[in-house]
Amino acid sequence: MTDQALLDKVLAFAPGKVAVEEYVNTYPALRVEADALHDLARFLKENEETDFDYLMCLSGVDWGANLGVVYHLRSTRHGHVLVLKTQTPERITPTIDTISDLWVGAEFHEREVYDMFGIRFTNHPDMRRIFMSDKWMGFPLRKDYQASNPLHLETEGAYEDEGIRKLASGKGKDETFIINFGPQHPSTHGVLRLVITLEGENVDQVQPHCGYIHRGIEKMCEHLTYQQIVHLTDRMDYLSAHINNEAVCLCVEKALQVEVPLRAQYIRTIMDELTRVASHLLFWTSFGMDLGATTCFFYSMRERDHILDIFEETCGARLVLSYVCPGGVMYDLHPNFQRRVKDFIREMRRRLPEYHRLLSGNVIFQGRSRNIGVLSHENAVSFGVTGPSGRASGWHCDVRKQDPYHVYSQVDFQEAIRTEGDVFARYMLRMDELETSLNIIEQLIDQIPSGDYAAKMKPVIRVPEGEYYQRVETARGDLGVWLVSQGDKFPYRLKFRSPGFSTLAALPHLCHGFKIADLIAISGSLDFVIPDIDR
Amino acid sequence: MMPTDFKDNEALEQLRESGTNVVLTTVSDLVSWGRANSLWPLMFATSCCGIEIMAAGAARTDFSRFGIEVYRSSPRQADLMVVAGTIVHKMAPVLKRLYDQMADPKYVVAMGNCAISGGPFRDSYHVVNGIEDIIPVDVYIPGCPVRPEALLYGIMQLQRKIKVSYSLPLGKKEEDK
Ligand code: SF4
């Protein structure tokens, strides 16, 4: 359906309640009255022609007089996108109907909006704060947030937490007990905290508690220039640092309609794929270690060091690169770049079979990962589990194919897909992607055109008024950047739709009924980076 | 007895003649030396800098050369806490609790700008501006992220510090008390 036909259809559904947004916007956008939202959302999801089954992004925003919620919907079948914008009538006790009954993944996103803006979602199953502790005063992302919250050092008692009280109540059976997992635990890959109820050895419910590394990046961005913001983004998902940088730069470039020189696009694409390889290598390490295979660590870190050397020679940094800037890249390539990348590809190709011999074929490993934590295609879409984890459930969600940026449209590559949806499939999919990435790099490395490595940009970038959305494929999935600009040198609102956050929402669903040891395998296979979840 | 008390070499010569190897030290020094070379760190990393700890443990920089490879998951078994990464308000009580659970003697290394001062996130509403507000710090290692080499250097500074400290109350000099 064309954008216009889509808009007409929606306007006809709820006349008087919906209006087309005149603002500059990447996607067709509609303004919806708050009371008509739920019905319209249901219609859009269930109608065959619209079929919006993927809730791409759900963000809150403070418009001054009132608060708003913005929904980015996408149809996996038709590929079209629609933005719904709604507003609360006032800001003292703002409420909006939940849509978590339609898209399960919305549950977490709505809790985030509640935490940051104080909008209550009626009929939401679990309306609690998600990042900040229950005692936190004020809602940080509101523009008038001034509350001072002193540092508390006393540890909270378990039952002071509303969520844990909820878990504990209504459980009458003797065998049920609640255990705490994290935030300091070697298998959580950072500071994730899970509160788990167990029936014997079987997992009943899992309640993720986030916010132990919530750094308030979105709020900080509202007081930083676009060049400065780039440096914060790589600290979110530090394993895909380069790709995160790009997301913001691409969004700014899209808004300014800057033509990025071809050379820069090639460089960015190659660096993207190198980052992806490095990230998947680290996944291999940590996943192997989670399941008790310590040797993996030494093998993949050795190869990863080669990539880091290339990064270091190119831009001076190993991990958080900040090599991209709006308009291109910061510096030109080092003369050694091509040679070293080619050496690396040769080396990596030689090593990959060794990796498979070490881990993939191992009987114990297979026993612990096959048919564990199965995620169906339908649930993957509904939760918004993108990236390798989504593709392992048979969902074609690779942004590099769906919404190609840079030179991905000119590269010949196959989107890796598996359909089993279990832990083993998620693992193997990442191994497949290693090869895909090497192929992509190989196609590009000899073709890098000469020319400028960055377009000329003004030292102070003012993004024209409007709302822009940009998606990129990080090593963890679909990273979305939603930028609202009012023509200033700072963004009015910058929202990161982080892949890990949606994936985490699926974890309780995946673990239900499995053994506690499988929980480690499942959460390992989802490849979390916690600062990416918490931002 | 202090080393300076060995004014008379006769005793030493007798020992030597009977085939004994003699090393002169104090018990305190010996203990400090042992402590410095078998630091067991706590596995504790909140964000990006933690990845560089992993890299420091890998084959290239291999920190087991310095006796710090036995990473413990429980604070009760650890002597050294390398605070790698940003500490936010919600994490601060946890950090303090972990520190309190470690047995003496215990040491803290603040790794990365975030742990030192809040780093790039200093202005944020939820970030602690330096962990010294919460726990005492022995060595600060700046960097964002800290390179593995820098981490090794920092920990070697800590080892130097441990080696010159008096580890037993017996060995304490009067003025130190
Ligand atoms: S100092 Fe830099 S690299 Fe280290 S945790 Fe902080 S932001 Fe990350």
pLDDT band at B14 (very low <50, low <70, confident <90, very high): confident
Q: Which two tokens stand for residue A531?
A: 């600062």
The number of domains in chain A is 2
What residues line ligand 1, using a CB cutoff of 6 Å?
Answer: A 235, 320; B 47-49, 85-86, 112-114, 119-120, 144-145
Provide the shortest C-alpha distance from residue B124 to chain A (in Å). Answer: 6
- H or E element in which residue A471 lies: strand A466-474
Model pLDDT, residue A330? 86
Contact flag A152-B93 (C-beta cutoff 8 Å):
yes
Over residues A72-98, mean pLDDT: 84
Whether the predicted pLDDT of B28 surpasses 80? no
Residues A118 and A221 in one domain: no
Residues A272 and A418 grouped into a single domain = yes
Residues A316 and A462 in one domain: yes
C-alpha A209 to ligand 1 mean position (Å): 22
Domain-located, residue A528: no
Check whether residue A320 and residue A423 sit in a common domain: yes
Predicted pLDDT of residue A202: 84
Q: Evaluate whether A254 touches A26 at the Cβ level (below 8 Å).
A: yes
> What was the pLDDT predicted at A33?
81
Closest CA to B90 of A236, A167, A130: A130
Judge whether A510 lies within some domain. Answer: no
pLDDT digits (tens, 9 = 90+) for A34-58: 888 888 888 888 877 778 888 888 8
Cα–Cα distance between B119 and B121 in angstroms, integer? 5
Say yes or no to pLDDT of A295 above 60: yes
B161-169 average pLDDT score: 75
Contact A120, A48 (CB under 8 A): no
Q: What is the 3-state secondary structure (H, E, C) of A149-168?
A: CCCCCCCCCHHHCHHHHHHH
A56: domain CATH number is 3.30.460.80
- Which residues on chain A are in Cβ contact (under 8 Å) with B54? 282, 285, 297, 301
Which pLDDT does position A171 carry in this prediction?
57
User: Which own/partner contact pairs does A442-447 have at CB distance under 8 Å and 24+ positions apart?
Assistant: A442/A345, A443/A411, A443/A412, A443/A413, A444/A266, A444/A269, A444/A270, A444/A407, A444/A411, A445/A270, A445/A338, A445/A341, A445/A342, A445/A345, A446/A338, A447/A266
Nearest CB partner across the interface for B90, out of A184, A211, A298: A211
Q: What is the pTM of this model?
A: 0.87
Q: What is the CATH number of the domain that holds A335?
A: 1.10.645.10
Residue B29: CB atoms within 10 Å: 18
Structure tokens at A110: 């709505």
How does pLDDT run across A347-376, given as a tens digit for each residue?
888 888 888 888 888 888 888 888 888 888
Residue A189, in any domain of the structure: no
B64 confidence band (pLDDT: 50, 70, 90) = confident
Same domain, A118 and A227: no
* pLDDT higher than 60, residue B170: no
- Where does the pLDDT of residue B171 fall: very low under 50, low under 70, confident under 90, or very high at 90 and above? very low
> Which of A122, A137, A161 is at the close of a domain?
A122
Q: Tell me if A396 is assigned to some domain.
A: yes
**Domain co-membership, A86 together with A226:** no
Is cis: bond before B105, omega within 30 of 0? yes
Question: Does any CB of chain B come closer than 8 Å to the CB of residue A143?
Answer: no
Give the neighbor-by-neighbor strand order of the sheet with A81-87: A18-20, A29-32, A81-87, A67-74, A54-62
Q: Which residues of A173-196 are buried (b: 16+ CB within 10 A; e: fewer)?
A: eeeeebeebbbbbbbbbbbbbbbb
Region A410-420 average pLDDT: 85
| CB A303 within 8 Å of CB A348 | yes
Question: Does A185 reach chain B within 8 Å, measured CB to CB?
Answer: yes
Please provide the DSSP assignment of A255-278 as one string.
HHT----HHHHHHHHHHHHHHHHH
3-state secondary structure of A87: strand
Calculate ∠ Cα A78-A81-A82, nearest 5°. 130
Lowest mean per-residue pLDDT among A260-269, A276-285, A454-463, B135-144? A454-463
Do residues A389 and A246 both lie within one domain?
A: yes
pLDDT at B177 over 50: no
Q: Tell me whether residue A67 is in a domain.
A: yes
**Is residue A206, in this structure, part of any structural domain at all?**
no
The answer on pLDDT for B4 being more than 70 is no
Pairwise CA distance, residues A207 & A35, whole Å: 31
CA–CA dist B9, B14 (Å, integer): 9
Across residues B111-128, what is the average pLDDT?
A: 87
Position A480, amino acid: G
* Whether A115 and A251 share a structural domain: no
Residue A259 CA to residue A326 CA, distance in Å, equals 11
- Judge whether A527 and A510 are in contact, CB under 8 Å: no
Backbone conformation region of residue A327, classed left if phi is above 0, alpha if psi is from -120 to 50, else beta: left
Asked which of A78, A106, A122 is the last residue of a domain, the reply is A122
pLDDT over 80 at A420, yes or no: yes
pLDDT at B167 over 80: no
Instruction: Give the residue-averaged pLDDT of A463-468.
Output: 85
> What's the rounded mean pLDDT across residues A185-192?
75
pLDDT band at B6 (very low <50, low <70, confident <90, very high): low
Judged by average pLDDT, the poorest of A118-122, A152-156, A457-461 is A152-156
B93 alpha carbon to ligand 1 midpoint, in Å? 20
Q: Which of A445, A431, A473 is nearest to A346 (CA)?
A: A445
**Average pLDDT over every residue of A283-295:** 85
Q: Residue A488: what are its φ and ψ, rounded to 5°? A: -90, 175
Does A170 map to a domain? no
pLDDT tens for each residue of A369-404: 888 888 888 888 888 888 888 888 888 888 888 888
Residue A160 belongs to some domain of the structure: no
How many angstroms separate the CA atoms of A72 and A81, rounded?
7
Domain shared by A366 and A239, yes or no? yes
**A220–B121 CB contact, under 8 Å:** yes
Query: What is the ipTM metric for this complex?
Result: 0.82
With H, G, I as helix, E, B as strand and everything else as coil, classify residue A196. Answer: strand
pLDDT at B43: 78
pLDDT, average across residues A412-437 = 88
User: Domain range holding A287?
Assistant: 217-497
For B121, the closest of A131, A212, A215 (CB atoms) is A215
User: Is the Cβ–Cβ distance between B110 and B140 less than 8 Å?
Assistant: yes
Nearest-neighbour CA in chain A from B35: distance (Å)? 24
Of B43, B47, B94, the CB nearest to A186: B43
Co-location of A108 and A223 in the same domain: no
- Average pLDDT score over chain A: 84
The answer to whether residue B176 scores a pLDDT higher than 60 is no
pLDDT of residue A158: 64
Secondary structure (H, E, C), B59-71? CCCCHHHHCCCCC
pLDDT at B1: 44
Strands (E), A6-80: 18-20, 29-32, 54-62, 67-74
Residue B51 has its nearest CB partner, among A149, A154, A238, at: A238
Which pLDDT value is given to residue A47?
78
Burial class, A57, CB count within 10 angstroms (exposed 0-12 / middle 13-18 / buried 19+): buried
Residue where one domain finishes, among candidates A67, A92, A122: A122
pLDDT in tens, B68-119: 877 888 888 888 888 888 888 888 888 888 888 888 888 999 988 988 988 8
Does the structure show a pLDDT above 60 at A154? yes
Closest approach of A438 to chain B, Cα-based (Å): 22
A85 and A222 share one domain? no
Nearest-CA residue for ligand 1 atom 2 is: B144
User: Structure tokens of A249?
Assistant: 């730069």
Q: Which residue has a Cα nearest atom 5 of ligand 1?
A: B85
How many whole angstroms separate alpha carbon B53 and alpha carbon B111?
A: 9
For residue A474, pLDDT beyond 70 = yes
Tell me if residue A464 falls in helix, strand or coil. coil
* B interface test, pick of A131, A153, A187, A305 with most B CB neighbours within 10 Å: A153
| Ligand 1 atom nearest to B121, measured from its CA | 7
Residue from B86, B109, B129, B151 to probe ligand 1 pocket by mutation (most atoms less than 8 Å from CB): B86
Task: Judge if A296 and A440 occupy the same domain.
Answer: yes
What is the rounded distance in angstroms from the CA atom of residue A57 to the CA atom of residue A69?
Answer: 10
